[in-house]
Amino acid sequence: MRYVGKWVFHSIGAVTDADEPVYLNAEEYLKSPMPYIDETDEEAVAGELRERKSMIGMQIEICEDGKLYTLMPLPEGVTKEEVDAAVAAGEIMLRGGMMTNGPASWEERDGVLWYTTELSEDGWTRGSDDGFVFFMTVRFAKAE
């Protein structure tokens, strides 16, 4: 598989009421229950929906030079001036108009994508399976 290129949100891992793992597409994720917040609190629901939309807008960019970028959309309602000030202050980095924490390293091992992370003992995490690239519980599909 050729990993270099842009990868876009495909689905996110969740657990059903019967404790079965399932992947939800964007529409299903937006409509899924929010058991960890008070769903009668309109502000909490709106905040959760903003977070979910941000998650759905995520992308992964895998570059020829061995760099991998996790890209997040800018928050809704943020002005260009606010973004420019945050970049100038070193609070965020931009890549292609999206926020990033900077690059991780990646490599291919026996046809499988691996990338650097602080989540594993040796610093590397397997990042592909079944034609998807994944980050945490999110699966990404290669952009056409």
Task: Give the model confidence (pLDDT) of 94-107 as tens digits.
Answer: 999 999 988 999 99
Percent of the chain with pLDDT over 90: 81
Number of domains in the chain: 1
3-class DSSP state of 88: helix
Enter the pTM of the model: 0.87
Task: Assign residue 64 a region (left: φ > 0; alpha: ψ between -120 and 50; beta: otherwise).
Answer: alpha
Kindly tell me if the per-residue pLDDT of 124 is higher than 90: yes
Kindly tell me if the per-residue pLDDT of 90 is higher than 90: yes
Kindly tell me if the per-residue pLDDT of 59 is higher than 90: yes
Range of the domain at 116: 5-142
pLDDT at 8: 98
